[in-house]
Structure 1
């Protein structure tokens, strides 16, 4: 605000700015009571000193008037005093005049540092500032909040506008709104919220997130069109349920939403490889556009390149034709409506062609591209490509090659404490967790003691109403595992699931179907035989917590679960679904890159060839993705348990 200046403005030339970020709660009784109290304070000061406002209103010029960007509560208080006849309509008001480009920042500073704003108002303001090129850090530093607060506010931009309005009214919390944003389908968000809003026992953030992630998808879902239609889904092995009574072919339901996720991701990866060939330093593929991650990336400035002689000549010809056509349109009379209509159509075509050529001039400096990258994402039903994105770690390198007057816009200046920028998709993450859960089920089925301990631990935790401490969200019912939100999406993993189901069927194959006879047969079984059945009964419902807690960690230790015994990385279950950078990282961790030259050769491979090569090299190494790998402390616990057991054995005497 270097060009700001102080002045005195008649109050009747002031008005509340549309840029003022505080819009929520001004009609509430609490707000009005505060304004009345503030008005009394201003009047008292005026009577004592002759000056009512001790702090300037912050305004910007709007024609002959001044819009109040900051100081809205003081503005409302003076308005009240004028209504009550205490002040004249032209009450001289001290103001600080600022430029229009600083309005949002000034309003936000005023409101954040004084009476707390509603988070929805902060969302609008933070969003406006990011669009003006502010970084996450500069917003946080300027307004006295943490970068996490800024990110959490911006995260809910994916919410339906109607939900944002309900959020303003306090109908749902920030965490509930973020949970509903697990899908970018606004209709789905509203359907779930309207159905569960009154179910206070069933609308916590976790429940809302589960509800918006559907397991069955209608054929009208935008993702189906994005992958190429129902036929592409069926060709990939997906099952379709059709409503025979539906008309116009609208009654198709795709039963495998996880497969749709895989097909969406595959298409995005293919586009990603094409964009990588342009010369970018990195490529990220997002199955669902992530506002938080996107806001952490800076944006490199575009550069205008020279047109080729052919394109320049074409542009000149189009502009001349457009100029001539517009002159003709101006000379036409009202009777020439048919000709006018035809010229209107041609005018639109010419403008589109000119715009396309001019847009082709936009690009990025060749020096910038190796330090920047592109994000390929699925965004509200369409493919979205964002080029020229800059990670926090690369900001310095990019700034070093930018020309005079050029600068990065937006992003994070400091590394986030959260996940790495180069991450796996949510669909793959959930599939990996499904693999881990299935491994725990197999091991539980062979470990009756652990199964019994789990049942008892579950009972004690539930009795104390401390469900969050339970090792797994166990439910001994008719489903195979409660981790339904983490479906395994690769073919080999599904075959393994079928093997687990078959194991249970084999155990009960020879048992009677009549309950009376069944009880008698079970009563005659040995304790070991009952234990075997009990262990599987518990195992089929085991659902390891996604986020480790103390008891779930203890349960994994008790099982002695080693994921390398149950998961081998392949093209289908991991390597074909992550970036080339993550494949290289896996090979490095497994010690399977022989030299710098070897790494360069691997990076030069096409994605499919690299994934296949990595599958071969990783075979037998025991490497497992970090998301599901057995942690060192769990292995240490297992070793200690074996050591104690060995030490407890009686010593044998020498002859």
Structure 2
């Protein structure tokens, strides 16, 4: 008959206080022990396997407190009143074959009437050991030559647990005292242990105000001179290559992520990365590219436009190896996203685990983007006059191909950089801004009256946004910036431009039509015929268009297609008056203008005139001639 039958507590009456009651030591076969129904601990205990390992290593250090029981067959049994975790650990050792079923267990026998009192006394009187005492104890054993693995085996914990405790025992004494006094948290202590330099630990702690002493902030301060292994540079230079070159690494015992290894010498890492970039540069130059630049930093495609023109890369199909790698990465990403979805639908999911999965998915997504960006055909027939930027991306070394510096040789929109060398410009920078601002107003006014061209220009811009770099601020992902401020800054004579009045009238008309409350504008457009929306798109496109001169000629040059499309003749909008042109030009250029517009005979008297007199003379002679300077000619 087993001891799982109904048990009865034997009644031995006594009125002696608990502390004074007699306790008898005895050894009871393990298979005669069972948890007493009067044991006050009802919640299922934890850590049984670790406790079993400690008992197997060091023996049972504390006896069990028991009372006599009998089962329904009258056979003797002993109920454990205090020591239920130890009983379960012993039973676990029996189940694994480490102990015999009748292994004699040291016990202390008490009277049944004091069972509940004794059980409660033991469970509530045991104060948990402060972790600082555990750290010191591990450290003392380690100093005596006991290895971390042996300590872990003795106490039924992992070797990493012991290594972490030994690491924290090396914290600066003044900080460890704060921890003992509960003035410093365990998380803060682990963050300080990110360095073995106790002076650094104290300096970082004292340098941070109390409200900025989170574990994250402490660790960031300590590790600011180190590079985590998750850094994209480590995708180019492996840890093995770095250490082979003499680099040191530090392992963060408290990190639960893959970036537990830190590069202690960032300068060496950068040198090794730069060598890889230079090797790639040599390959590209050998392949016929005209120039190659390298960068240790990420170079985003949306930042290229200010300095470079780029020939759109021709995509290619991935190789079998590339496709297999891409499929593997995509499968892994799908798996991660599935786990994230499951966690988000589980109210009991660990937020930290969800965060780890999300971080891993985001990094993998970046690597997929970096890989697919390499699926381009680099056999560019124009490569000799174009270049490549080689940089460190999330997937390793990455490249932007088919680049040409704006204003360089071969740039159809600029005349600088030619074999003839630099030529003195015909107009000053200030005058060019003034004149091309007039050109812009005229172009805007012409586009307002040519809805077809304006909508085509808008479609072209939308295509660039969707297919190229996109826009980032508005929900609809389209940014519209009026050129009005720029134009008024460049020229104080725009009111004389015939297009200025047309632009202002168009704006005034819309101000009258739209509801006063801007919140109603969307509903208003939806309720209007489609033509109203098309007209507004055309107006907005027109007023966001600019032909203002830039140092590389890009804006003005790129507007030539629109100028031609609307049939713009600047003579309809602009005239060479003293304010708009003549007083800003040298006398010789003024004479050339009059000669070109009329004849040499008309301009001949100007040679003997002073500048102010020549300006007034030229204004009179040029009036009505429709003469334009080269910068304003179509």
TM value normalised by structure 2:
0.30
Q: TM-score of the superposition, structure 1-length normalised?
A: 0.29
